[in-house]
Each structure stands twice: as C-alpha cells, then as structure tokens.
Amino acid sequence: MSVVGAALAIAEWPAVAEAIERARAASTTLRWHQALRRRIPEGAAESRVRGATASAELDGARLSVDIIRDLMRGAVTWHDPLDPVERVAKGAVAATAETEVLTGRIRQAPAQVLARLHTLAAADLAVSAETGDGLADSLLGRPRYDGEDCRELVEIGAAPPAAEARERLAGVLELLGALDAVPVPVVAALVHGELLHTRPFPRANGVVARAVERLIVRDGGLDPTGVAVPEAGHRLLGGNAYLGALTAYTRGDRHGVELWVVHCADALVAAAEEGTRIADAVLAGRLT
C-alpha cells in the first residue's frame, strides 16, 4: 500500500475519525471568531510567539513568552555568546517565524521547506567541526548521510540508520504532496511522528517537525488564519504525554499509530483553544 493509501486507511479508523472531527470543530470555532474578521495578522503574529515559546520548551529550553515576544519584535536582543538554552530557543524562534514566509510552499516544494527550516532551527547549534561540540555548518539543511548519527530523543529509542531515515523521509515528502487528499490532522500527525521517529537531521528534529506541523495546519486549510498554536497544543497536553504517544507510534502497530494520531488531533483541539484565547486578547486590546 502506498504512503497516501495507508494514511487514508488510518483516517477511517473509528477513534481517528472521531478525533479528526473534534479538531475540525475546534478549528471552525476559532476561524469565525469576531476578532479575526479584520485583525488576523495581529493574532497570527502572537500565535508564532506562543508557538516558538512552546516548541523551545518541548526541547527543554524554557524562556517566558514575554521574553520571546520581545525578541521576535526586536525590543531586546539575544546574548552574545548564546547560552545553551538560548541556542535552542533561538532556533525555535527563527524556524517558527519563517513559517509565515513559507506559507503556501509545503505542497510544491516540501524538501526545500524542510531544508530551510532545519537550517534556521539548527544554525546556532552549529560550530566548527574541529571542536566536536555541536553541529558542523556542512550538516545544515540536509538529511543525515550514512554513518552520521542523531542522539536526540533517546527516550523513545535510538534513531534509525541514516539510510532508513532518508527512505522514510521520501514517504514524508509524498504525504506532504497529498495534503489535499488526506485529512489535515492525519497528515500533520504522521509527518510529525515520522520526523521525530526517524530523526533525519543530526539535531533540531523536534523544532523542524513542529514548524512543519504549523505549515500543514495552515496550508491544509484546517486553520487558514494561522492563529491556532499547534506547538502549544502539544505542550498543554503535557511533555510526558507527547513522548509517551510518540513512543507508542515508533512501535508501528495499529494501537501505537492510533494513539499518536488521536493524541495529535487532540493537541490540535488545544491549539485552536489557545488560538481562541489569543483572539479574545486581540478583541479586548490586551496584547502588548
């Protein structure tokens, strides 16, 4: 069965179908919020702030949303040199901000989108290869070659060999090209899960996966406003639940895949609810 055929079959599993409807209903409620009639850009900008904050936190880099907001609008600058937390957070900020530029490209040029997001997410993790500490510039924006390893997400097991990761990445690209054919919550969950399970890049796979999910949700039409906050949806459900569902997905059996896809769809419900809180703040004039 093709990758797209398998995704369509998953979308018909009863628990998944119900979760898809929950995500669609929550997203529809957000889309018709009064504040989004004329002030979508304001809400979408705040969504990226909260998304970058949540994405960094899911990778262990916690900075307050107020600090991230000031950094993204240029009110303050990053430290020089960056500390370890800031290295991760800066990558999350850069990749999440770039989704605004990349909107509309995920179907036509998915490989280029992934390369761009990785280059931004991992740029400040890159150091001279001679130091052996961090990521060499030559590894930015491309999948791992044979012999290159990834030591992220060890909680879910060792990353597959580079050859297997590249093979499965081809399936991810095929699925992204079929965004109009497969329900958006299923595409978002499977792409997200594959990028975290296979870890095609040496570093920053989590930030890339969450930025891609943001693009899928917007470009696929689930939330065309860009105000929902998928990254915050995962954080709100809890880091342990995120890793637990992902670990189940890596088993590859029906129960594990179903658990992950339903988890991701429920995270999209939480994402839309966070977007509604943003829209409420926009309407009330409470955003800084």
Is pLDDT larger for residue 95 or for residue 287? 95
Predicted local confidence at residue 129, as pLDDT:
38
DSSP 231-269: HHHHHHH-HHHHHHHHHHHHH-SHHHHHHHHHHHHHHHH
Q: What is the mean pLDDT of the chain?
A: 94
138 has pLDDT over 80: no
Cβ neighbours around 43 below 10 Å, total: 25
* pLDDT (mean) for 105-115: 95
Q: What is the pLDDT of residues 168-193, one digit of tens each?
A: 999 999 999 999 999 999 999 999 99
| CA atoms of 173 and 165, how far apart (whole Å) | 12
Number of domains making up the chain: 1
Q: Return d(Cα 137, Cα 126) in angstroms, integer.
A: 6
User: Which residues span the domain enclosing 99?
Assistant: 3-284
Give the CATH number, domain containing residue 263: 1.10.3290.10
Query: Is this prediction's pTM over 0.85?
Result: yes
Q: Are the beta carbons of 143 and 172 closer than 8 angstroms?
A: no
Q: What is the number of H-type helices and E-type strands within the chain?
A: 12, 0
Residues 169 and 3: their CA atoms lie apart, in Å, by 11
